[in-house]
Structure 1
Amino acid sequence: MQHSSRHLEGPSPSVTGSSLQPVIITADPHFHHTLITAIPDLQPFCIHAASLDHALQLSHEFGDKLLLFIDIDSYEAAALIRFMGSRHALPNAMQVVGISDCRDLNIVINYLKAGFNGYVLKQEVNAALPAYAGNVLLQQGFPLSPLITQQFIHDLVMAQPGNYTTLLSKRELEILKRLMNGSSYKLIAGDLQISIETVRFHAKNIYRKLDVNSKSELVVRILHWPNASAFMH
């Protein structure tokens, strides 16, 4: 049976003034060791406990003004759901952020809908905790990993057909129009006086930016654009 453990060397974990104290909760001994090795100052504030309930009890020793980072990868989903369902019983000053290796936006959104105040990728945790706590304190918003934010923005842009053309360069738009009219790479190269390899390079970028993998997917994507007719003659 795994026993909970805390390491209390270092500065006192008391909370003073109006600051939010970052506290990390995890059941993963490897992640716990990685954190306190990378940032020794985190050692007093990193709780390693197999039970989420036990970890939360330990966290109360730090006071009520907490920014809890919960390693959601190391606890059962049912335990996380129970915890989020009991948020009303927690101090109002306590904020909860999920930390995970998962980049699936559907899963991220589900956690945010469940009541988590933010979501941070584990690879970004080490150097970011003080800044995250400071931003929350200054009411600059709750933590959301830059990589996750970029993915949100990408998906938002891709969901707005009228904005597709802003993703493409002038040359890519020229090549796209010719592709949509059935021109081969060889014909496009001759028309634009560039090499076939250059055409292939731009075509690859078009596919990547428009998130398609084939000519048929590209055609379907363009047909949903409000200005699709501009690419069809």
Structure 2
Amino acid sequence: MTSYPIKIVVYEDNPDLREGLSVLLKGSMGFELIGAFVNCEKVAEQMQELKPDVVLMDIDMPIANGIKGLKTIKQISPAINVLMFTVFEDNEYIFEAICSGAVGYLLKRTPPARLLEAIYDAHHGGAPMTSSIARKVLQMLPSQQNAMVKLPYDNSHNLTERETEILSLLVKGNSYKMIADKCGISMDTVRSHIKKIYEKLHVHSQTEAVAKAIHERIV
């Protein structure tokens, strides 16, 4: 999946799930589990010592929960990608996690193959979300539905046909790998197109790009 291992730290208080995640990550090419912890009590020290690429973060943990851990990580190591992995579908948790710097939000029912793909996407600039969570995020946007009704199709951002196609696939929740397969192009080419899309839309993340695409009827 990648030429070098993505270094991952897991925070999960359920011992069976923590062990299952550990086995999955240790047995998957391109991924390296460098730590698995029961809570975020010592998250600052652990981040400074381990320097992971991606953190897989539960929310409901004893002593120090995942939201607190996320905020601490973004304060001391903003470049670390934190991917929430939880049973919570509450708008409050989703909103706080995203506003605090989480790059993605997955539910624990996510299949193992999709979880690995999401970790890869998070490391390479994506914003992976379970489809039901992505819908909730879009519903949080102010006046979104009204904008969709009132605004005509808009291509004032001068997206190419291919860029529009890729943006449309992002809006539908496709991962980078799925987009590459559907368009018959490489992952590197997908990332290149998405970088140009971000520049033209004046956004900095996949979530912002999707929100703007829907709000302004770009696709």
TM-score by length of 2: 0.50
Answer 1 or 2: which has greater helix percent: 1
Q: Under a length normalisation based on structure 1, what TM-score does the superposition of the two structures give?
A: 0.47
Larger Rg: 1
